[in-house]
Amino acid sequence: MKITAKVKLDAGFNRKFHKDVLTELSKTIKRKAELIKVDILGDLRKYVKEALTGTPEYQSLTHGKLRGELGITEADSRASAIVDTWVNSISVNVKAATKPFLTIDIGAIKQDYQDVLSLPVSSYKTEKGEPIPWLSWLLLEGDKRIIRKYEFTGNITRNSRTGQGIMIKKKKAFWQVPPEFSGTSTNNFVTRGLQDIEAEIDLIVEKAIKGNLK
């Protein structure tokens, strides 16, 4: 036995069905918006912290050459406070609507770096009271000759702040941030450490949305 059935849809059914689906999807996204935001923020902060603390500059600041050349005491806590400031300043704003369904605004590191350059840990004073804005030098001064008639030597550690060397006076010498670590406002250890952040944000956002809309 063969049965043939025909179903006739009301005029405008497809349009109404499409609209109803979109409405339900929009409601679901609105309910999940805060959870999406929390997931994105948590993963993004984790990524930024790992990316920055893994840079050669951070490692050298805390345990290597830069620590000695910049004369930084308590380098671990100083560097950690700076990175934490960047990490904690990251913001995520998720807004659900009908079209588009979801708008995500992400705020990260300030372009002028004043949020970290204003921190007490980003500079220190020598025994003679001279200010040493070491973080500004590292982030902004590039290969500029910063200190003239002095050079750093690791062969003398007596009276060294870090035990890794001192600056000695020399008529035709100068000191600059070591070229392998130097940076400018648009090319420094932060920008280099986060050069893949846009691709990572895409992955983080996709993961958060899919995870919360299952």
Task: Check residue 127 and give its pLDDT.
Answer: 85
User: What is the CB neighbour count within 10 angstroms for residue 20?
Assistant: 10
Q: Is the pLDDT of residue 49 over 90?
A: yes
**Span 104-153, pLDDT tens digits:** 888 888 889 999 999 999 999 988 899 999 999 999 999 999 999 989 98
Question: What's the confidence (pLDDT) of residue 120?
Answer: 96
In this prediction, residue 23 carries a pLDDT of: 64
**In the chain, what are the domain boundaries?**
13-201
Q: Please give the model's pTM, rounded to 2 decimal places.
A: 0.82
Please report how the helices 56-63 and 75-89 are oriented relative to each other, as an axis angle in degrees rounded to 10. 150
pLDDT higher than 80, residue 22: no
Average pLDDT over residues 69-97: 92
